Amino acid sequence: MRRPAGRTAATAATAATVPRAAAAVALALALAALAWAIPVRPARAAASAETVRVGSKKFTESVVLGEIAAQAARAAGSPAVHRRELGGTTILWNALLASEIDVYPEYTGTIAQEILASEHLEGEEALREALARRGIVMSRSLGFNDTYALGMKEETAARLGIRTLSDLAAHPELALGFSNEFIDRADGWAGLRKAYGLPHANVRGLDHDLAYRGLDSGTIAVTDLYSTDAEIAFYHLRVLEDDRAFFPAYRAVLLVRADLEGRAPRAAEALRALEGKITEKDMIGMNARAKLDKVSEERVAADFLRARLGLRTAEVADESLARTLLARTVEHILLVALSLAASILVAVPLGIFAARRPRAGQVVLAVVGIFQTIPSLALLVFMIPLLGIGAPPALFAMFLYSLLPIVRNTYTGLRDIPLPARESAEALGLPSGARLRLVELPMASRAILAGIKTSAVINVGTATLGALIGAGGYGQLILTGIRLADNARILEGAVPAALMALAVQGLFEVFERLAVPRGLRLS
């Protein structure tokens, strides 16, 4: 059959959609790369072998201690950065082993019962030796013991006559709410239930900071506490006596990479100077200022170092809301744009392959479907040894989560093309590549764009989880708001994220008008 000498106007219009789409993707990549370079390059240029990278967990005491360590290093003349609120023990420990951070505050009980639980070590010296074999130095106690405890509202405990943990066994009807980490730890709920023979079945996991609200509202009756929590007095809680001495000592220490001494000796000396300097009263007071009085952790740490150690720290300037939102917005856009651009470049070809090779295509769809089922936090933790902390593992996780909607919609769009249309293209003598470019992709463009739009909106929400590993974005504001029980701070992150999702939706509506052939648009 003779090929046509020219194209119809409709065919030309559909063909033009492909360059426009490719140009849009290229432009998105260029803009994202440019925006990425602006905030990152100065930080990398300023970084040096002497820079001390301090980490902290996502609860107030850890953030305050992390800030104290960072400011002490700076006061000694060493540059330091504080990677705050990096999730739980597993994330911080893996980051320390991977040399992504140099130091973070930890507790002896957590080291013995969680980090080195398989070695069944007893005594701080045994812990210190085991850590040294891993290239980690454990400081002496910072000066206080922040042990686990269980607590409940004073009036409820008095009414039921509950004074000790053993007394709980007589009240199986009580609802218990524990932090997720406490439920999973060997020295947490599993061990406690066995040690005291507790029969409770109504046990749920929730964020530690939200548990206090649950106690106050009556949703739960008992939760786990840290003995230095300022909320114990604020909410009028009764700390139940550990009458069988189940909980070990949780003396606060610093875990430091052994190589820090050689890279930043002044900082290492400053960190050692913190040993024994923070009393339990000091810690409760600092927690109260940060958590209840809403004083920034930077200012709390600076005031402590000046008053107790006489250190001259840099002046702490509170960042304006506008500046904070701008920084978090740039971070969030970068996470969404880069991960989405990468997923488009990979997922569309995978969808085409799946449509043209049905048997192999089912395998492709199954694999990308499995990615979607992996819990996001677990995936982030798995990525730390390979990609470190910060943006890289967050981008990779978001990339994986973005694949399924695009691959599936590309596959479905191509498979749903009417058979007469395919036969007509073949009858015209068009080769396979030309049929794909001039006929099949334009006809499937609505479905493909719908998949991309779905991935983009999902990415806006998923990007908030990146804050758990230091990727920033609106999730940082949300995590801080939850930790401080500050609804206004939560809204500062949640509302812009919702508005960004709406903006992305609208942007793709506009793009659909440009990229989808007129005859295929919805009326």
Same domain membership, residue 387 and residue 261: no
What is the C-alpha to C-alpha distance for residues 486 and 428, in angstroms, rounded to an integer? 65
Same domain membership, residue 496 and residue 364: yes
Contact 413, 441 (CB under 8 A): no
Beta-sheet strand order (sheet of 136-138): 80-83, 52-55, 103-107, 252-257, 136-138
Q: Output the pLDDT for position 319.
A: 72
The verdict on residue 484 lying in a domain is yes
Same domain membership, residue 358 and residue 261: no
Distances (CA, A) of 242 to 153, 204, 231, 504: 17, 21, 19, 53
Q: What is the 3-state secondary structure (H, E, C) of 476-503?
A: HHHHHHHHCCCHHHHHHHHHHHHHHHHH
Residue 377: which H helix or E strand, with range?
Answer: helix 376-387
The verdict on residue 51 lying in a domain is yes
Same domain membership, residue 304 and residue 366: no
What is the C-alpha to C-alpha distance for residues 308 and 304, in angstroms, rounded to an integer? 6
Q: Output the pLDDT for position 373.
A: 85
What single letter denotes the amino acid at residue 503?
A
Q: What's 352's domain CATH number?
A: 1.10.3720.10
Structure tokens at 459: 């990415």
The verdict on residue 315 lying in a domain is no
Same domain membership, residue 500 and residue 451: yes
Q: Output the pLDDT for position 35.
A: 46
Q: What's 303's domain CATH number?
A: 3.40.190.10
Same domain membership, residue 60 and residue 32: no
Last residue of a domain, one of 212, 239, 266: 239
| Nearest of 90, 79, 97, 106 to residue 134 by alpha carbon | 97
Q: Output the pLDDT for position 308.
A: 87
Same domain membership, residue 343 and residue 304: no
Last residue of a domain, one of 239, 259, 275: 239
Neighbours of 473 (CB within 10 A): 28
Q: Output the pLDDT for position 3.
A: 43
Same domain membership, residue 259 and residue 345: no
Q: What's 231's domain CATH number?
A: 3.40.190.120
Calculate the CA dihedral of residues 100, 104, 108, 112 and round it to 10 degrees.
Answer: -10
Same domain membership, residue 382 and residue 468: yes
Same domain membership, residue 297 and residue 359: no
The verdict on residue 82 lying in a domain is yes
Residue 203: which H helix or E strand, with range?
Answer: strand 203-206
Last residue of a domain, one of 239, 263, 284: 239
Q: Output the pLDDT for position 324.
A: 86
Q: Give, for all 523 residues of the chain, the pLDDT tens digit.
A: 444 444 444 444 444 444 444 445 545 544 444 444 444 333 333 445 679 999 999 889 999 999 999 999 999 999 999 999 888 898 899 999 999 999 999 999 999 988 998 898 888 999 999 999 999 999 999 999 998 899 999 999 999 999 999 999 999 999 999 988 888 777 889 899 999 999 999 999 888 778 888 898 889 999 999 889 988 988 899 999 999 999 988 999 999 999 999 999 999 999 999 999 999 999 999 999 998 898 999 999 999 999 988 887 766 766 778 888 898 999 999 999 999 999 999 999 999 999 988 888 899 999 999 988 888 777 887 887 788 888 888 899 899 999 999 999 999 988 888 878 776 767 777 777 777 777 788 888 888 988 999 999 989 988 988 888 888 899 888 888 877 777 888 898 999 999 999 998 888 888 777 766 666 555 4
The verdict on residue 314 lying in a domain is no
Q: 470: helix, coil or strand?
A: coil
Structure tokens at 357: 């090779």
Q: Output the pLDDT for position 270.
A: 94
Same domain membership, residue 193 and residue 83: no
176-179 and 203-206 beta bridge pairing: parallel
DSSP 209-253: HHHHHHHHHTS-SBEEEETT-THHHHTTEEEPB-TT--S---BEE
The verdict on residue 276 lying in a domain is yes
Angle formed at CA 465 by CA 459 and CA 469, multiple of 5 degrees: 125
The verdict on residue 19 lying in a domain is yes
Domain carrying residue 184: 148-239
Same domain membership, residue 201 and residue 93: no
Q: How far is CA 226 from its chain centroid?
A: 23
Number of domains in the chain: 3
Q: 187: helix, coil or strand?
A: coil
Angle formed at CA 170 by CA 165 and CA 172, multiple of 5 degrees: 95
Q: 203 — phi, psi (to 5°)?
A: -125, 130
The verdict on residue 245 lying in a domain is no
